[in-house]
Structure 1
Amino acid sequence: MRLISVVLSFVLCCPFDLSLAHAGQMRMIVPFAAGGTADVLGRIVAQELGTLTGNQIVVENRPGSGGNIGADSVARGPADGSVLLLGTIGIHAASKIYKTLPYDPNKDLQPVTILAEVPNVLIVHPSVPAKDVKEFLALAKEKPGALNFGSAGNGSSTHMIAELFKLKAKVDLTHVPYRGSAPALNDLVAGQIQLMVENLPTALPFIESGTVRALGVTSATRSPSLPSLPTIAEAGVPGYDATAWFTIAVAGGVPPATVEKLNADICKILTEPDVIERFKKLGAVIVGNSVVDAKAFVASETVKWNDVIETAQVKID
């Protein structure tokens, strides 16, 4: 019995063979509150990956510090690929806004794949007297700093894409960070804040119900989910173009063979018709690229968002 126990312990802990390292339970850390786009995408992947691999994948929401509390727990966790992270711009490409972090995202995390991209959408509370982007810009310039925008946290895509909007449009808006999009949206619907530049999948139900008003999408082209809604660029801010993106990532020490196996499994589920349809309904564009391409993409986006951080002087102690 003791010999069986020892062998089984070795099998479960071995970091070099994914099928062994993942035998039993895995975890998906979503570093934001439940109900946001990251949470929804993370749960879809966890469900489908669990079915494919035969493992139980438990989703844990660990919000705070723009996603960095949850990301830090993954970086410091077991380096066997059994703990996954639903990563974002704020974690992989905009961590420079923080003066110090307890971990180094560039070294202590590694992307497995870029899961998907989604446009964001500029939404306002119905009490805001602006029916389109041009009217909103006029209002913001008339009352600099008076309009408050919520985000999923400092450095999150909903924060950074809004900061880029402020730069391009030359307007002064006041940032109010939350521990995820869901609580921020609750305050927007309640009129506690005036606007958000929210991920489209999360904002869509509120737009369709009329509880918020959509003024424009942040992507270079219109979204199939809202074909009549203009892009912010065509509606008054030329050259403005930004999308949120999400990764599946693991700790930096996870062996390359394990990362590649995870990549193959995740990319496989992203080709399933049911998953494609679910992502499409959310307004998310599936990417599912290679490990090499994912790392190159993150490096490029880090340069882009670090430039925004420096230009806008967005710094958090």
Structure 2
Amino acid sequence: MLNRRVLMKAAGSLPLAWSATASLAQDNAYPSKPVTLVVPFGPGNAADIIGRLIAMHLGNFLGQQVIVENRPGAGGVGAVKMVAAAKPDGHTLLYIGAGVAISQGLFKPQPYDMLASFAPISIASSNDVLLLVRKDSKLTQLEDFIRLAQEKKRNCMVGVSLLGTTQHLCAELFKQRAQVDFTIVPFKTAAAVATALAAGDIDLGFEFVPPTLPLVKSGQLRALAIANGKRSAVLPDVPTVSEQGVAGFSVSSWGMILAPANTPDAVVQRLNRGVQRALEQPDVAKRLADIGVRAPGGTTAQAYELLSSEIVRWRNVITESKISLK
């Protein structure tokens, strides 16, 4: 009787043991060839720089080369669709920015469903939006701009890099939360926004920290506020929007690495560990800090939560602001 019970107990544990063994074997067998990280931006872009830093150390962790493949154009649609259709074995990955979450509410019909088509691996980067004025502007704090926009004595002009971007949607959200109105003027680049500010063509600019940090530090532009809920380590004297009266306002852009949906969880988790290891490397941390970018990392669940919540958030802003891009 005792032997029978022992045998039955052992048999009952076989599925669990087999599952753990199979998962371990799958983890150890991956990767069997070089891994491709598709970046839907051109060389030299911040996403490209971050992607290459991660790829180098991720390759060391995996024991296989991680090749960065730049696929710019068409708003990243081609790159996203290509990776979504790739074999879900962890050998083809995608680096996306926050703009992909925005596009889910901006364009209809959607060429893909980000949550259904991908398995988020890790948040790779996070950077902030600054509210900028020219160096000799009479606007010395965010309250001055809010008052100017509320008085409506003249039409306030606010510059952003392109429409449908984090900078644009951040400005739209600011309108809603601060209960002000102004005209949003799109420019092709952050440099063009800075030039327009310096010339006095616009009153305020919403732009990322990395391309404008040198201009702020050199005194060519002034930062009235930072859109994140916390102050920036690289600009600790710049108060947040929330600190200056617009309670709860917090916007950051981010980068994320994903795999095609149905990639085995053991592979996804191994990739997550590899990305965390890469972000912890001193050269990566220093390079990102130098340009004002954070490397939050985190679990796959945290990456999924960020992606899903950002899709909902920006869809709501787009609907309320009645934004339509054709």
- TM-score computed with the length of structure 1 as normaliser: 0.79
Q: Count matched residues.
A: 294
1:205 alignment partner, SS class: helix
Rounded Cα–Cα distance in structure 2 between residues aligned with 1:81 and 1:292: 17
The answer as to whether partners of 1:36 and 1:202 remain within 8 angstroms in 2 is no
1:121 alignment partner, SS class: strand
Aligned to 1:100: 109
Q: Taking structure 1 as reference, are residues 109 and 196 closer, same or farther at Cα in structure 2, changes over 3 Å only?
A: farther
Rounded Cα–Cα distance in structure 2 between residues aligned with 1:197 and 1:217: 9
Aligned to 2:67: 57
For residues 260-292 of structure 1, the C-alpha deviation after alignment (integer angstroms, 9 at most, x for no partner) is 221121112222233233333333332222222
1:68-83 correspondence runs (5 A): 68-83=77-92
Q: Which structure has the larger Rg over C-alpha atoms?
A: 2
Rounded Cα–Cα distance in structure 1 between residues aligned with 2:119 and 2:153: 43
Matched, 1:202 2:207: no
Higher mean Cα deviation, 137-146 or 200-209? 137-146
Q: Taking structure 1 as reference, are residues 231 and 31 closer, same or farther at Cα in structure 2, changes over 3 Å only?
A: same
Q: Runs of 5+ in structure 2 lacking a partner?
A: 1-25
The answer as to whether partners of 2:41 and 2:70 remain within 8 angstroms in 1 is no
For residues 169-213 of structure 1, the C-alpha deviation after alignment (integer angstroms, 9 at most, x for no partner) is 2222325264xxxxx112123328734422323321232233433
- TM-score computed with the length of structure 2 as normaliser: 0.77
Q: Taking structure 1 as reference, are residues 159 and 81 closer, same or farther at Cα in structure 2, changes over 3 Å only?
A: farther
Q: Taking structure 1 as reference, are residues 50 and 140 closer, same or farther at Cα in structure 2, changes over 3 Å only?
A: farther
Q: Runs of 5+ in structure 1 lacking a partner?
A: 1-15, 179-183
Aligned to 2:305: 296
Matched, 1:163 2:168: no
Percent identity between the aligned chains?
28
Aligned to 2:258: 249
Letter in 1 for 2:191: N
2:238 alignment partner, SS class: coil
Higher mean Cα deviation, 224-233 or 131-140? 131-140
Q: Taking structure 1 as reference, are residues 168 and 39 closer, same or farther at Cα in structure 2, changes over 3 Å only?
A: farther
Rounded Cα–Cα distance in structure 1 between residues aligned with 2:236 and 2:184: 29
1:231 alignment partner, SS class: coil
Letter in 1 for 2:263: V
Aligned to 2:223: 214
1:1-317 correspondence runs (5 A): 20-21=30-31, 23-24=33-34, 26-53=35-62, 54-65=64-75, 67-92=76-101, 95-126=104-135, 130-141=139-150, 142=152, 147-151=157-161, 154=164, 156-169=165-178, 170-176=180-186, 178=188, 184-191=189-196, 194=202, 195-317=204-326
Aligned to 2:13: none
What root-mean-square deviation, in Å, do the aligned CA atoms of Structure 1 and Structure 2 show? 2.9
